[in-house]
Structure 1
Amino acid sequence: MSANVLPISSPQRSRRVIWQEIRHHRTAAIIGLSALIAAAAASLVTAPLLGSIVDLVVAQEPGPVGERVLALAGAALVQAVLAWVGLSTIARLGEEVLAALRESFVQHALALPLERIERGGSGDLTSRVTEDVAMVSDAVRTAVPQFVQSALVIALTGVGLIALDWRFAVAAALAVPVQAGTSRWYMRRSGPVYAISRKASAAEQQQFLESIGGAASVRAFGLAGEHVELVRRRVDASLQHMVGIVRLHMRFFARLNLAEAIGLSAVLVAGFWLVRADQVTVGTASAAALYFANLFGPINAMLFLLDTLQSATASLSRIVGISEIPLPAAIGADSPRDGLVEANGVRHAYVEGHDVLHGLDVTIPAGGTVALVGGSGGGKSTLAAILAGIRQPDHGSVRIGGAEMNEAVQSRVVLVTQEVHVFAGPLAEDLRLAAPNADENQLLDALAQVGAAGWVAALPEGIETVVGEGGHDLSPQQSQQLALARVLLADPLVAILDEATAEAGSTGSRELDAAAERVLAGRTGVLVAHRFSQAALADQVLVMEGGRVVEQGRHDELVAAGGRYAKLWSAWSAGRH
């Protein structure tokens, strides 16, 4: 498998993970399984009771028939209650196991280096957390409980046939070779088919994301036709795999119908000869036929559920596979003593052999502010992400407050980009993502410092107004103010603003610049500046080109030097007038 592809776990490994989670809920597993066993046992009473009614009718003794009918009703009620307890308990157990898997998946995915996810494809990761989780969820809620119940009914019905007469069991067993062969045939084919189908679906989603995400570039370069063709090919490939699955189903059920015909015919013939030889009653033969006929549902359900379970297993392997990606080794466990930022010999490449950063050495004093300026592709955002611990340098090191980058260090650094996300829910809860224990006064104070108090007060329910998807829409400027308020609440040692105020129009730029200045006050700040007014206020300016620092110094010094920064400043100043 390519190192760029997100891994898929083996079925054995996936089963071990599930078993480990089930062991944490032994009591629920025992209760659920016991209830299903008891429900299956109660269902076996029906056929003998009906057989005894047949015998009473044949013997023309209708008196006890009423008692048998009441017993049938009682057995049905007991079976229904026990089945409900068993199925609901197993389903609840499955949901708890699935919840643990989802939490582990998200926790591990968030801890992965950003470049590792990008190499694997965001579409692949997205399909795992959406389609694959949905597939496993459906299996947990329906397929697994029904499969267990069906298996128990089949096993106990076999015992019931033997109890009636062992020859009925032998006759019914004639269907087993066909069913077993059908199961093996199906299992060998369905697993790979579903695994390939999941990959095709992931590739389809990846192409959609790439085409839609790059819509502006696609239109600008006149590539719409090519991208439509790429999407069509991905969709066609996915549909071909789905058609293959349908054809596999049709062949599967045809073989199951043959097995049913063989088994039922054998049981009826056996009953005919045994009744003719006076070795069993008509009622016993009827009970045996009912037993086997009642197996149609559980057998077909169990074998058909193999289809769902195979698909869910393929999805489970993709979910568990994420946890098998090794995380970056923790370097030290020290906490930063202050906001001093030291980057030494930092090199980074998105494609091997094509460095974006070339051995950078950057030092930012605690409490100081540095602005990164330069043309597009100079490496500013890459350096910002590395200083924040979002990306790992290929070579070199980053230290914050004397401590090398680790989880404790990264928690004291906040990166805000121009792509601000507003989480769906009350505005107060959105803010509390940065400070879970913050009270309302602290939230309002943070909003006031970034200039958001006015529009928040005007919201229908104030700070409790639901924002984000399905709620009140926030403008780009309001979203950026919200992100800056989160920084204040998080109170990091180092705040990195990667064009975090770029989306503001001319009317809001001064207000956002002032908010950014208040956010950076008293802490180390890194500004990836698209407005040179921000660079002019920084303690130091680094001019970057081609992944190197070509100039550095204070704003007035660089302007006076007449170099690259001076030209950029002049061009920007002229554009404002």
Structure 2
Amino acid sequence: MSPQSHPATDDRTAGEERRGPRFGVPEPGYDPSAPEDVTVLPAGSSATVRTYVRELLRRHRRAFVLLVGVNSGAVLASTVGPWLLGGIVDGLAAGREDLQLGRATVLFALALLVQTVFTQQVRVRGAMLGEEMLADLREDFLVRAVRLPPGVLERAGTGDLLSRITTDIDRLGDAMRKAVPQLAIGLVWAALLVGALCVTAPPLALTVLLALPVLLAGCRWYFRRAPHAYRAEAAGYAAVAAALAETVDAGRTVETHRLGSRRVALSERRVAEWTAWERRTLWLRTVLFPAVSLSNMLIMGGVLLLGGVFVLQGWIGVGRLTTGALLAQMLIEPVGLILRWYDELQVAQVSLARLVGVREIEAEDGRGPAPRGKDVRASGVRFGYLAGVDVLHGVTLDVAPGSRVALVGPSGAGKSTLGRLLAGIYGPRHGEVTLGGAALSELPAEEVRRHVVLVNQEHHVFVGTLRDNLLLARQDADDAGLWAALGAVDARGWAEALPDGLDSAVGSGGLTVTPAQAQQIALARLVLADPHTLVLDEATSLLDPRAARHLERSLAQVLEGRTVVAIAHRLHTAHDADVIAVVEEGHISELGSHDALVATDGPYAALWRSWHG
């Protein structure tokens, strides 16, 4: 997989950098007034979110049913106290002397004990269910994300992806651990209490109908506005993360071109837009909460007023009024619980939609035919990062098996973009890029990587041992093969000097490796992957010229017999190529060998003279 290209070395223009299309799926709640240069992966539609939630519940239906069961037991046990107290009040009102207070006390104590045990189980089972569902969500997102076409992730940039894997996961953590179980608890609790009210004091159940219109009106007003506001708030935070991440990532470029004030202004604008949506969601809640409080007052006031009238008319007894009042009082808590956690789920729903949105990006399903050879061909290729703005204009190039082709040209001409198309990272907008007659865009990424590998200026050393980093390319490689790969890229000397050799910990928290050593690790993975076609985007750029030349001579033995497409920023790389393609303004202006192009005295000859002073 190719990492994100560095702004200083990418062929994209400043206006194209890290933007790209929205992959044909608009984000739900996307604010059309938001800046056009904020590119995000799509958020899942409501149907996608509902489908995924149902899938999660099916996976954990046994745990969910158990949670509902223990919660029902806790609620039923909690109704014993009001029922006993109502009976005692009725007995006192009737002047009965055989109230059996001792028996009632024992029953109440047993009910309290049962309620305590079941409530403890509700919390434990709810937490367990939330953690299991959250773990599934994390795994599903990671599995789906790494299967996305590399070009999709490259065009999206790092800010939005980072905000999903960090902020959205954190928000969903509370939702999965608390909101989902608590919402289920609240719904069961409220339903059982209303049922108990209907059974013990049916006339008083009418008071629920008095509060229902107020509650429904407030909730309808709030929940019609909240989802869009929360989506915009999440998108605003993603824009903040993107601006900050890109500024830090390109810090040296920002300093070199004195762009600090512009980047600070951009970050401040993003923060202002985000906080404006934060204030909007806070205002929405200031309307909802008073409506909830008013509905609670209507329930209690209705029970007391109507209950008093019913008692005076002799329709119900004082004991039933007492039971009904206690049950109505108990009903306030689950209603508040439902609304509180449903509100939290509005935030979580946005985060969930952003996480499951990757499901709506078309996966590479390998519908095309398998390659029937090793030749790579680009035919009439047009490609751009923005709709209507092409970087490549009708490029045609044949790369014969075993040949070495160098792509040269001025910065921003489209060399790296053409290299990514030949490596199957991007698919052309028009035209076709084929490998052995099979369209690369119709092959799954795993199949493409078996044949073609892109190695560019970017690299990454994963946390773990040196052995783990190398085995990423080939899981079945033995130690002899790993040392041979390191030797092929001149890395064996420093690798053998490590304290534990291949078992030395590298990456964050481990031994520090230099940029040049990290690049050698990346090239050693290339040797282990053993593809027949390589696209090298100045893969030795982090080495000094003498070391780079020595490494390239060592690699020449490894690359013998393979097809190599080299994106040459140093023209000595082009000098050794069989064919040189000069890329200018998205076109191939010259094609031929080094000697032939120098003799032609065209653009390549001018570049060669400039290179040699």
CA spacing shift, 1:460–1:329, aligned 2, 3 Å: closer
Contact 1:105 1:319 in 2 (8 A): no
Residue 474 (structure 1) aligned to one of 493, 500, 513: 513
Q: How many residues align?
A: 570
Shift of 1:471: 3.3
Counterpart mapping for 1:452-463 below 5 A:
452-463=491-502
Per-residue CA shift, 1:134-168, capped at 9, x if unaligned? 33343222111100110100000011112221123
Residue 491 in structure 1 maps to residue 526 in structure 2: no
Residue 328 (structure 2) aligned to one of 250, 272, 292: 292
Could you tell me which runs of 5 or more consecutive residues in structure 1 were left unpaired when the two chains were aligned: none
Contact 2:138 2:169 in 1 (8 A): no
- Residue type of the partner of 2:465? P
Counterpart mapping for 1:201-220 below 5 A:
201-220=237-256
Q: CA RMSD in A?
A: 3.3
Counterpart mapping for 1:294-373 below 5 A:
294-326=330-362, 332-337=368-373, 339-351=374-386, 354-373=389-408
Give the match's secondary structure for 1:64.
helix
Contact 2:77 2:112 in 1 (8 A): no
Question: Given the two structures, how large is their TM-score scaled by the length of structure 2?
Answer: 0.82
- Residue type of the partner of 2:477? A
Residue 449 in structure 1 maps to residue 484 in structure 2: no
Could you tell me which runs of 5 or more consecutive residues in structure 2 were left unpaired when the two chains were aligned: 1-20, 27-40
Contact 1:44 1:156 in 2 (8 A): no
CA spacing shift, 1:50–1:79, aligned 2, 3 Å: farther
Question: Given the two structures, how large is their TM-score scaled by the length of structure 1?
Answer: 0.87
Residue 68 (structure 1) aligns with: 107
Give the match's secondary structure for 2:475.
coil
Residue 171 (structure 1) aligned to one of 196, 207, 224: 207
- Residue type of the partner of 1:463? L
Counterpart mapping for 1:423-442 below 5 A:
423-442=462-481
Residue 14 (structure 2) aligns with: none
Residue 526 (structure 1) aligned to one of 538, 541, 565: 565
Residue 15 (structure 2) aligns with: none
Contact 1:542 1:553 in 2 (8 A): yes
Residue 237 (structure 1) aligns with: 273
Q: Within 1, Cα distance between the matches of 2:100 and 2:578?
A: 105
Residue 142 in structure 1 maps to residue 181 in structure 2: no
Shift of 1:87: 1.5
Q: Within 1, Cα distance between the matches of 2:386 and 2:311?
A: 80
CA spacing shift, 1:537–1:26, aligned 2, 3 Å: same
- Residue type of the partner of 1:401? G
Residue 376 (structure 1) aligned to one of 408, 411, 417: 411
Residue 546 in structure 1 maps to residue 585 in structure 2: yes
CA spacing shift, 1:444–1:57, aligned 2, 3 Å: farther
CA spacing shift, 1:286–1:429, aligned 2, 3 Å: farther
Counterpart mapping for 1:79-228 below 5 A:
79-84=118-123, 86-88=125-127, 90-92=129-131, 94-95=133-134, 98-99=137-138, 101-103=140-142, 105-107=144-146, 110-111=148-149, 113-114=151-152, 118=155, 123-228=159-264
CA spacing shift, 1:208–1:88, aligned 2, 3 Å: closer
Residue 502 (structure 1) aligned to one of 521, 541, 548: 541
Shift of 1:487: 0.9
Q: Within 1, Cα distance between the matches of 2:301 and 2:286?
A: 23
Residue 456 (structure 2) aligns with: 417
Shift of 1:257: 1.6
Shift of 1:388: 0.2
Residue 14 in structure 1 maps to residue 49 in structure 2: yes
Give the match's secondary structure for 2:369.
coil
Give the match's secondary structure for 1:495.
strand
CA spacing shift, 1:363–1:51, aligned 2, 3 Å: same
Residue 401 (structure 1) aligned to one of 436, 455, 460: 436
Contact 2:71 2:119 in 1 (8 A): no
Shift of 1:81: 4.7
Per-residue CA shift, 1:473-509, capped at 9, x if unaligned? 3211011111111111211111111011111124632
Shift of 1:381: 0.8
Residue 551 (structure 2) aligns with: 512
- Residue type of the partner of 1:30? V
Residue 389 (structure 1) aligned to one of 424, 427, 433: 424
Percent sequence identity is 36
Deviates more, 1:219-228 or 1:3-12: 3-12
Shift of 1:273: 5.6
Deviates more, 1:137-146 or 1:47-56: 47-56
Residue 258 in structure 1 maps to residue 294 in structure 2: yes
- Residue type of the partner of 2:384? A
CA spacing shift, 1:435–1:271, aligned 2, 3 Å: same
Give the match's secondary structure for 2:391.
strand
Give the match's secondary structure for 2:539.
coil
Q: Within 2, Cα distance between the matches of 1:277 and 1:350?
A: 78
CA spacing shift, 1:397–1:279, aligned 2, 3 Å: closer
Counterpart mapping for 1:13-32 below 5 A:
13-32=48-67
Residue 69 (structure 2) aligns with: 34
RCO higher in 1 or 2 (8 Å CA, sep ≥ 6)? 2
Contact 2:56 2:133 in 1 (8 A): no
Q: Within 2, Cα distance between the matches of 1:152 and 1:399?
A: 59
Per-residue CA shift, 1:419-466, capped at 9, x if unaligned? 112223333222222223333443333223222223223334432333
Residue 464 (structure 1) aligns with: 503
CA spacing shift, 1:547–1:265, aligned 2, 3 Å: closer
Give the match's secondary structure for 1:521.
coil
Shift of 1:554: 3.6
Give the match's secondary structure for 2:207.
helix
Q: Within 2, Cα distance between the matches of 1:55 and 1:425?
A: 73
CA spacing shift, 1:71–1:284, aligned 2, 3 Å: farther
- Residue type of the partner of 1:523? R
Shift of 1:177: 2.6
Q: Within 1, Cα distance between the matches of 2:150 and 2:172?
A: 23
Give the match's secondary structure for 1:543.
strand
Give the match's secondary structure for 1:389.
coil
Contact 1:105 1:322 in 2 (8 A): yes
Shift of 1:287: 3.5
Shift of 1:470: 3.6
CA spacing shift, 1:504–1:51, aligned 2, 3 Å: farther
Shift of 1:271: 5.2
CA spacing shift, 1:552–1:156, aligned 2, 3 Å: same
Shift of 1:390: 0.6
Contact 2:70 2:118 in 1 (8 A): no
Q: Within 1, Cα distance between the matches of 2:340 and 2:557?
A: 63
- Residue type of the partner of 2:471? R
